Every structure is written in C-alpha cells, then in structure tokens.
Amino acid sequence: MSIQRQLIRYAKPFLFLCLVLFSLDVVFMAFHRHSYLKQFLDTFKTHRTKFADQKSAFKIVDGVDLRIIVLTFDRPESLARCLSSLNEAEYGGDKVIIDVWVDRAKGERETIHPETYRVAKKFTFRHGEVKVHNHSRHVGLHGQWLNTWDVQNSGKEIAIFIEDDTAVSRHFYKWLKAVHKKYARYPNVNGFSTQGVSIRHSGDPGYLTGPADHVCFLYPVLGTWGFSPNRQNWLKFIDWYTHASKDPNFQPHVPGILPSKWYSSFVKRGRTDRMWSIWHIYYAWKNTEYTLYPNLPGRQGLTINWKEKGLNYNKNKAKPDPLLQTWESRFVDLPDKPPVLDYTGAVVIP
C-alpha cells in the first residue's frame, strides 16, 4: 500500500468525526443564534417603542414656534392678499406653520369654494409649511374660531387667528413674541389683539386709545382682527363654552354693551351663529379677564382689517386703517402693569 492510500484510510474516520462535530456545532450555533436573534429582536422592539414614545413627546417639545390659523370661506382675492402679507413678514428664523381652514357652504351641498381652495393650495410660504384643511361640514365662524387650534396639544407654540380679510404688518411677529413672553403668565390677560383700531364697546363715539405714554393697554373685549390667545385662558374658555353653549336657556349677556345689543338682534333673527365672540366677551367679563392691545403712534396696527363684504360687514369701506410700517424697539418696552381701560375706553387702572 502506498503511503498516500494509507493516509486516506486513516484520515477517513477522522474526517467523518470532524464532519459530525461540525454538524453538531452548526445545530448548536443555530439554536444559540436563534436565542440571540430573539434577544436582539426583543431589544430592538423595546427600543422601537421607546423611540415611538419619545417621538410623541417630541411632537410637543419639538413643535412650532408660531401657528398662523387663517380662516377663509369664499373670498379668494382677500385670502391671496392675506397670505402674501404673511410672506412679507419677518419671523427671525423661527419655526412657523400656516393652517388655512376653508369652511363649507351652508345648505344641502356644503361645497368648498373651489377658487378659494385653489388660492390656498397654490400658495408658497417662504418661511415654513402651509397646510390646507377643508372643514368636513359647514361650521361658520363659531367652528372656525373654536375648533381649529388644538390647544390641548399645543405645547409652547404661539397661535394667532387671522380672518382672510386681514393683512399683517411685517413686524407683527416681533410684537407678538414679545407680548407673549412678557404676559403669558398673567392670569387675567386672556390674549393679544394685534389690531390698532377698535371701537369703544360701550357704544360711545370715537376709537379706543390708550394713554399716550403707554405702548399697550388692557381692555375687557377682545379684538378679532388678529387675535392670539393666552393658552391657559383659551383652554378654560373653550372648556366652559363647550358646556355653557349646550344649555338652550343660557344667554351670554353682558349688560349695557354694544355686542349684547348685536347679539339680541341676531337672536331675534335666529342668526346667533354669526357672533361667536359674545361668548368670549361674556366669559372675560365673568372672570375679570382682559385683552392686551398695542397703543402705537397713529393707531397703527400689527394687523388691519379691510372691512370687506362678508360675514362681518355688509358694505365696503374705502379707506383702510394704518398698518405699522417702521419698527421701534420701544414698542416692546412693555410695562409690568399695563393701564386698564373700561368699555367706554376710560382708564380705570392707570
């Protein structure tokens, strides 16, 4: 026998043994691997749920700085002008989102105004995201104002409601950010109105004016030509409204003021859906809350309303109110105790 043959003869059982051992090892490894794999998958799974939890927490922490809620229905030109003013404004690099809420027509078909929707959809916002929301049914101004801000999950964001016939000053956000920072923790400040011109809600002639040496003032009635709620107050107000409005015998009546008269006439005509703000005015009166207004030179506003024909007005007014053009840092030199005006516009707490 050659050496070669002998080698093969002896090697055969050895190779066989190797093969057996190797197979055993493979089985063992596979078994082991399986538990490793299982362990690995488990860890992965827990990590994944942890990550998901973190993500939902982030949704609040990592939210936007400013949410602009634009309310529209069937005025495409107004909406276009409003959105373009938002493009011109300065946001200092903050995270901004625009929510455009399009209401549906009343009646059987409840259509979305196609041209208005188109204007919203084709708008490009240079400073952030735009979301266009069709309401699923006709909601009117009540639904537009009271159900479009998810205040429960709003985190630290500043929200401002703007109807489509409003335009903003380039500087509106600088002001808004400053007043929120200063007064967000004042329990009796229910929000911030950005308009510069307002009537006196007592019905007295002339416009509301704060004391000349003050850049802002507090007033018992909100202004709806740009309103940014104080979060805590808005939460409580919405909560109260949800219950109070269910009682058919309850009337949000504040004695002796113009809005109550308007409301009564709406009640007579069965059009109470026209005036959501009376609920806010009543709630503020009951709880001694005020809205902060700017008191800038020449009654310039951070927003203006074009007072067009629509739900709030019946005729066009020729001359628009003044919009703030030139920023001065003293506009946000905010006092610890802003003067308080009453419904007539008289200073009651200097």
Rule CB under 6 A: which residues touch ligand NAG?
A: 112, 114, 117, 134
CA distances from residue 147 to 161, 163, 252 in whole angstroms, order as listed? 11, 14, 19
Which regions of the chain does DSSP assign to beta strands (E)?
66-72, 96-102, 128-134, 158-163, 166-168, 189-193, 216-219, 227-229, 290-294, 303-305, 340-341, 347-349
Contacts of 262 (CB under 8 A, 6+ apart): 275, 278
Kind of pairing between the strands at 166-168 and 347-349: unpaired
In angstroms, give the least distance from the CB of 103 to ligand NAG: 11
How many CB atoms lie under 10 A from the CB of residue 81? 16
Give the neighbor-by-neighbor strand order of the sheet with 340-341: 128-134, 96-102, 66-72, 158-163, 227-229, 189-193, 290-294, 216-219, 340-341, 347-349
| Identity of the residue, 150 or 333, whose beta carbon is nearer to ligand NAG in the bound complex | 150
| Identity of the residue, 110 or 333, whose beta carbon is nearer to ligand NAG in the bound complex | 110
How many angstroms separate the most distant Cα atoms in the chain? 129
| Identity of the residue, 99 or 289, whose beta carbon is nearer to ligand NAG in the bound complex | 99
Q: Note the Cα 115 to chain centre separation in Å.
A: 24
In angstroms, give the least distance from the CB of 147 to ligand NAG: 17
| Identity of the residue, 112 or 235, whose beta carbon is nearer to ligand NAG in the bound complex | 112
Residue 140, both tokens: 């009117």
In angstroms, give the least distance from the CB of 63 to ligand NAG: 23
In angstroms, give the least distance from the CB of 119 to ligand NAG: 11
The length of the chain, given as a count of residues: 350
In angstroms, give the least distance from the CB of 256 to ligand NAG: 44
- CA dist 165 and 75 (Å) reads 8
In angstroms, give the least distance from the CB of 110 to ligand NAG: 10
Residue 233, both tokens: 């107050």
- Residue 67's nearest CA partner among 91, 92, 93, 98 is 98
In angstroms, give the least distance from the CB of 132 to ligand NAG: 7
| Identity of the residue, 136 or 329, whose beta carbon is nearer to ligand NAG in the bound complex | 136
CA distances from residue 243 to 154, 234, 317 in whole angstroms, order as listed? 22, 14, 38
In angstroms, give the least distance from the CB of 104 to ligand NAG: 9
For residue 305, count CB atoms less than 10 angstroms from its CB and return exposed for 0-12, middle for 13-18, buried for 19 or more.
buried
- CA dist 90 and 330 (Å) reads 18
| Identity of the residue, 117 or 217, whose beta carbon is nearer to ligand NAG in the bound complex | 117
| Identity of the residue, 118 or 253, whose beta carbon is nearer to ligand NAG in the bound complex | 118
- CA dist 116 and 221 (Å) reads 31
| Identity of the residue, 107 or 270, whose beta carbon is nearer to ligand NAG in the bound complex | 107
| Identity of the residue, 101 or 283, whose beta carbon is nearer to ligand NAG in the bound complex | 101
